[in-house]
Amino acid sequence: MRRVVAALVAGAVVVSLAACAPERVPVAPATTAPVILPSPIAKVKSFFDKHKYSIDDPLSIWVINDKLRPLNPINYAPPDMVQAKVRSIFTPLMRPEAAAAIEKMFAAAKAEGAGEMLIQNSYRSYQTQVNVHQNWVNQLGEKGADAQSARAGYSEHQTGWTADVGAYPAKCSITQCFGDTPQGKWLAANAWRFGFVIRYPEGKQDVTGYIYEPWHVRYVGTYLSTEMHETGILTLEEFFDLPPAPDYAN
Ligand SMILES: [Zn+2]
C-alpha cells in the first residue's frame, strides 16, 4: 500500500550529425548539450475514500466506538470470530481478518528483532464488559471506573477488532511503560504496516476519552492505517472529523 513514487528521469539524448554527413562537407561539431525532457510530476497523491466502509456498523473494520458512540446494537456480538494463532494469556478471539493480521505482525516483530509478543486480551463480550466495568465501579466508584474501562457496549473489545498486546517474557503488561519496551517501540512504529492503529495515543485523552494505552491495538485495515500513518493523524475521531469524546454524554 505504499505510494508509488514515479520518478521518470529522461536519459540524456545526444544527437550527432556526423554519421550521416557526406565526407566532403565539413562536419559541424556535434552538440554536447544533452536534450533533457522535463520530468513529469514525481508523486501522485491518490484520493482517499473516507466512505469506503461504514463507521457505524459494528461489523465494519472502520466502526468507531467511543464514549459518544455506543455500539448498535449495544449488546452486539461478532458472528465469525476465530482464535488468533499467537501466544496469549486468554483464548485470543478476534474477527478473522484481525486475527490473521496480528499473527503476521507478531511474526514480523520477532523477525525484525523486537522480540516476542503476546495477546493479553482481545474479544470481550457485552456481558464480560458489564462485569469488568462493575468491578471497577466497586473499587473506584462510577467516575473512577469510567477512566479505567469502557462501559458495556462502548468498548472496542466487543467488536473483535481489538487486542491488548504485551511483551513476552512479560514486561510492563497493560502499563504505559510497555511503550518503552523494544516490543512497544516496534509496535508504535510498525503496527500500521499490518492494518493496526494504536487507538489511544499519548496526549489524546481529550479526543479518545482514554489515557495513553500503548498496548491497545485496533485493526482498521492497511488502507486506513497507511493513510493515518502518512498524514500523521493519530486518532479515528480526528481522521473522520468526529467530535472529541472525552466523556460519556450522561
Ligand atoms: Zn484494550
The predicted structure's pLDDT at residue 148: 79
How distant, in Å, are the alpha carbons of 53, 57, 63, 245 from that of 69? 17, 11, 10, 8
Cα of 13 from ligand 1 centre, angstroms? 60
The predicted structure's pLDDT at residue 29: 53
The pLDDT tens digits of the residues spanning 123-170 come to 999 999 999 999 999 999 998 888 778 899 999 999 999 999 999 999
Three-state secondary structure call for residue 118: strand
Q: Among 15-19, 27-31, 226-230, whose mean pLDDT is lowest?
A: 15-19
Cα of 149 from ligand 1 centre, angstroms? 8
A 10 A CB-CB count for 118 gives: 20
Cα of 226 from ligand 1 centre, angstroms? 21
Average pLDDT over every residue of 221-239: 98
Q: Angle at CA 234, nearest 5°, toward 228 and 236?
A: 80
The pLDDT tens digits of the residues spanning 211-220 come to 999 999 999 9
pLDDT band at 25 (very low <50, low <70, confident <90, very high): very low
Domain spanning 82-239, CATH class: alpha beta
More confident residue, 38 or 197: 197
The predicted structure's pLDDT at residue 144: 86
Three-state secondary structure call for residue 222: helix
Asked if the model's pLDDT at residue 116 lies above 50, the reply is yes
171: cell is 514486561
Cα of 214 from ligand 1 centre, angstroms? 9
The pLDDT tens digits of the residues spanning 171-191 come to 999 999 999 999 999 999 999
How is the chain split into domains, by residue range? 82-239
Report, as residue numbers or ranges, the catalytic residues.
Answer: 213
Cα of 53 from ligand 1 centre, angstroms? 23
Q: Is the pTM of this model over 0.75?
A: yes
The predicted structure's pLDDT at residue 73: 97
